[in-house]
Amino acid sequence: MKELLIVALLACLSNVNAESQGVYITQKWPGGFHGYFIIRPDHTLHGWNATLTLSEGVDKLTIWAADIVSSSAGNTFVIKNKGFSADVAKNDEIKIEFQGDKRGMTNPPSGTIVVGGAGALGSGGTNTGGGGQTGTGTGSGSNIGGGPSLPPYTGQGGSQMKHDYSKAMTLSILFFDAQRSGRLSGTNNPIPWRGDSALGDNGDGHDLSGGWYDAGDHVKFNFPMSYSAHVLGWGLQKFKDAYERAGQLDMMYDMLKWPLDYFLKCWEPNKQTYWVQVGDGHADHGFWGRPEDMHMGRPAFKITPGNPGSDVAGNTASAFAIGAIVWKDKDAGYAGRLLDAAKSIYQFAKSHPGIYSNSVPQAKDFYGSNGWKDEMCEAAAELYKATGDQQYLNDAKQWFSGGTAWGYSWDDKTVGCQLLLWEATQDGQYKAPVEAFVNSYKPGGGVPYTPCGLVYRDKWGSNRYAGNAAFIAVMAAADGIGGADYLKWAMTQINYILGDNNKHISYEIGFGGNFPHKPHHRGASCKPGWCAPEWQNSPNQLNGALVGGPGQNDDYSDNRGDYVKNEVACDYNAAFQGACAGLYHFAINNQLPPSPPSKC
């Protein structure tokens, strides 16, 4: 006899206790809403069905991992698993996402879901006896904007944090603001030593001002820039409450809009042209000074159907798509522009496959690409998240690679693709390689460590690779993979970066009382008409910048001339910031485990 489970669903965005019911609200907007529930059986299922009843009818209900068998009055829907979602192992889980649309709707209706064949839904409930189980729960809070709903913040400080992840996240926003190119006058500019620069950037007369300078130099490389924008947006979608609690949500939106506006300039769909780089890396590296004082030629480089670049175009589609998701409630018009751009540049990339650095050889010495399928997989997965269009999910599956990724970075999105597909499908074939990736970075997994505990993937940006892996671990934990074990491991890496190391130094500038003062960064090191010598502290403090990091023996010196250990870059900060936001999210929701002890 099939056991039945009844849970309150959506409940007008309140009285939803995700921990006891397994029900999540992720977004709402005028005329619609999006959410999901989780089936977590106490015995293996080989097929299931459910009846969803809403208190108010909708014009359209879309469910991606199940088929709607029948409906009545626009408020009662009988649904059945699809072939790929039929089998759910004991104590495993599957996420069923849905979207409701109704003209004029401002708040989602309340409702119930009755699931046949599942012995447990979510992770709790009360057994009322009789022939079935009734899952009930009470509580407050909602989860608008993405990420897992957790028990409401108690107001008593949440879980104990050894380091202030909120401050680390807040400082990182300022680093990206310091990287802005273009017209800063008349904008929200929190960096007093930065002003207008590179206003004449153009490609064949087309305005290309704006965007972020890549690192301590002044080239604009769209390949790492779009990776950074996507990662930052993905973290915002998951951990919006962290930015809200820190009072940084408006600053985060303002920061993230800067590169998205720039990408909208760079993409000319009517010409099937995407401008992917401004500035020549070799010429730029011959100039040490403020960006406001640049007078060199700044050539621009593009991809076209005849000179393709699916990697950089796919990256940009991911950034546009996640931007459309996080702006949907804030500015629907802007979100629509981003989604249109995501669709068109994705189609451009799909129709004209190729590696951008083969088409733009000027990028090879700096950000040469090794392939494009991983970027296109992330792009398709994000577009599926933004639209619900099954074709995008089919594309993502086509470009999926099941191996254990070497790292997560500007050139390797493999594990990002895997995690996004797990989010979309809850299929174990995507979960396993995510687990393999995180486990490979944990002690004993194969990636070496410094004596004091930093996972050491590569000397170029050792902090970057540790922070990026921590980001994947935190995101995986938010998606139901790894739990407290992954959070504890992520904390070991972020805590090392913030001071749990042999030098008791924070590798993020401005955090704590001991941090680098001589980053390899032109703008920070110069005043008008004067630049500090290598031995002297930078006259402008580059708050929030994450420097490259220590060597394999925890060796480090604060030396501006060391562009391995003291370089800064947008891609160094992006996932590090997301990891800090995620840890803060778990802390304020009383879900962060105790901090592991430091090794030094």
What's the pLDDT score for residue 103?
A: 81
Q: Catalytic site residue 268?
A: no
Decide: 241 and 158 in contact? Cβ < 8 Å.
no
> Burial letters for 194-213: b for 16+ Cβ neighbours within 10 Å, e otherwise?
bebbbeebbbeeeebbbbbb
User: Whole-prediction pTM value?
Assistant: 0.76
**CATH entry 2.60.40.290 includes domain 4-116:** yes
Assess whether the region 4-116 and the region 179-399 belong to the same CATH fold: no
Catalytic residue selected from 508, 558, 562, 571:
558
**CATH entry 1.50.10.10 includes domain 179-399:** yes
Q: Catalytic site residue 389?
A: no
What's the pLDDT score for residue 97?
A: 76
Distance in Å from the first CA to the final CA of the chain: 58
Q: Which stretches does DSSP call E strand in 460-528?
A: 526-527
Two structure tokens written together for 453: 């505990």
What's the pLDDT score for residue 154?
A: 34
CA of residue 586 relative to chain centroid, distance: 16
- pLDDT tens for the chain, 600 residues long, are 333 443 333 333 333 332 223 456 666 667 777 667 777 777 888 888 888 778 788 888 888 678 888 888 888 888 888 766 777 777 776 778 777 878 887 787 776 777 775 433 332 222 222 322 222 222 222 333 334 433 333 333 457 899 999 999 999 999 999 999 999 999 999 999 999 999 999 999 999 999 999 999 999 999 999 999 999 999 999 999 999 999 999 999 999 999 999 999 999 999 999 999 999 999 998 899 999 999 899 999 999 999 999 999 999 999 999 999 999 999 999 999 999 999 999 999 999 999 999 999 999 999 999 999 999 999 999 999 999 999 999 999 999 999 999 999 999 999 999 999 999 999 999 999 999 999 999 999 999 999 999 999 999 999 999 999 999 999 999 999 999 999 999 999 999 999 999 999 999 999 999 999 999 999 999 999 999 998 999 999 999 999 999 999 999 999 999 999 999 999 999 999 999 999 999 999 999 999 999 999
Decide: 378 and 412 in contact? Cβ < 8 Å.
no
| Sheet containing 49-54, strands listed edge to edge, beginning at the edge strand earlier in sequence | 4-9, 111-116, 49-54, 76-81, 66-72
Sketch the domain layout of the chain as residue ranges: 4-116, 179-399, 425-600
Residue type, 495: N
> Burial letters for 140-172: b for 16+ Cβ neighbours within 10 Å, e otherwise?
ebbbbbbbbbbeeeeeeebbebbbbbbbbbbbb
Which residues are within 8 A (CB) of 369 and not within 5 positions of it... i.e. 6 or more apart? Answer: 223, 309, 311, 312, 355, 356, 357, 363, 411
Two structure tokens written together for 263: 């990408």
Query: What is the topology classification, in CATH, of domain 425-600?
Result: Glycosyltransferase (1.50.10)
What's the pLDDT score for residue 13?
A: 33
The vertex-356 CA angle with 353 and 360, nearest 5°, equals 135
The values of phi and psi at residue 109, to 5°, are -75, 170
